[in-house]
């Protein structure tokens, strides 16, 4: 089973940059999307009803904002579109698919920076993390769980090109990074780092100006975290920076279920 996660930075825009071809050629059994930024009815038919896929979305109430999706080759046995907390659910950030005992979740974690870049949304972001953690801790009791998505946090200095100049920026604040440390203390595994310990220069998001992507001045903020039982089944974890249709690139895992 191959699970791929990708922040598409607007699925309508991404669909004009080869999304359907990437979908069909990437070898994924499950593709999780973040930042869809569209209601399903606004998407092209070949994207909304992709041939050979079961397609699910959880959009935000606000038009053109947030939103997550899951494409699955096999029909899920259950789909959950909400965390059950209204202030988070209205932003369309959570989508959970069950494949028997195995659960795959697509999550678009909030940015903490706020409109004025004053880190005003950090409390909201941390609250969302806590709500997700409560949910996934429950889910892991009944089988493997893969938590994919744009976490909007680089965990360690190795996970961004310029750590020293970003220590006061949301996405690399101590309290944000501590959340991921706490998850790992409870047995959750950063699958890419587990497979590639110490590997530098592997990023998943780049600013869209200043030659950031060309110079690989990026951040690793997209992850597949796995519960302990799920992590044992991972045979490879990867990042695909060669796919250019978004300011993020896909990440994923190969799993032997």
**Catalytic residue positions, numbered:** 150
The phi, psi pair for 142, rounded to 5°, reads -115, 15
Is the Cα dihedral 111, 116, 122, 127 positive or negative? negative
The b-or-e profile of 145-180 (16+ CB within 10 A means b, else e) is bbbbbbbbbbbeeebbbeeeebeebbbbbeebbebb
Rounded to an integer, what distance in angstroms lies between the CA atom of residue 31 and that of residue 251?
10
Q: Enumerate residues 6+ apart whose C-beta is below 8 A from 145.
A: 102, 103, 105, 136, 139, 226, 227, 230
38 in Cβ contact with 12 (< 8 Å): yes
The 3 state secondary structure assigned to 159-222 is HECCCHHHCCCCCCCHHHHHHHHHHHHCCCEEHHHHHCCCCCCCCCEECCCCCCCCCCCEECCE
Tokens at 130, concatenated: 């806590």
201 in Cβ contact with 241 (< 8 Å): no
The 3 state secondary structure assigned to 108-120 is ECCCCCCCCCCCC
Helices and strands: H and E segment counts in the chain = 8, 14
The SS3 assignment for 55 reads strand
């Amino acid at each position: 089973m191959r699970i791929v996660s990708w922040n598409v930075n607007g699925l309508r825009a991404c669909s004009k940059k080869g999304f359907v071809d990437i979908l069909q050629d990437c070898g994924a059994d499950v593709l999780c999307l973040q930042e869809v930024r569209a209601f399903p009815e606004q998407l092209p038919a070949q994207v909304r009803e992709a041939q050979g896929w079961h397609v699910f979305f959880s959009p935000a109430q606000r038009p053109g904002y947030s939103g997550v999706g899951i494409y699955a080759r096999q029909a899920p046995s259950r789909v959950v579109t909400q965390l059950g907390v209204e202030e988070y659910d209205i932003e369309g950030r959570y989508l959970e698919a069950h494949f028997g005992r195995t659960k795959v979740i697509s999550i678009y974690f909030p940015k903490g920076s706020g409109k004025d870049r004053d880190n005003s949304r950090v409390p909201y972001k941390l609250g969302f993390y806590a709500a997700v953690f409560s949910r996934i801790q429950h889910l892991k009791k009944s089988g493997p769980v893969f938590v994919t998505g744009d976490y909007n946090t680089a965990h360690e200095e190795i996970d961004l090109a310029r750590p020293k100049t970003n220590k006061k920026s949301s996405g690399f604040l101590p309290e944000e990074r501590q959340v991921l440390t706490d998850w790992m203390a409870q047995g959750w595994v950063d699958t890419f780092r587990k497979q590639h310990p110490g590997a530098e220069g592997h990023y998943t998001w780049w600013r869209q100006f200043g030659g950031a992507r060309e110079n690989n001045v990026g951040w690793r903020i997209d992850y597949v975290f796995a519960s302990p039982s799920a992590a044992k089944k991972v045979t490879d974890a990867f990042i695909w920076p060669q796919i250019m249709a978004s300011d993020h690139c896909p990440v994923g895992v190969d799993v032997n279920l």
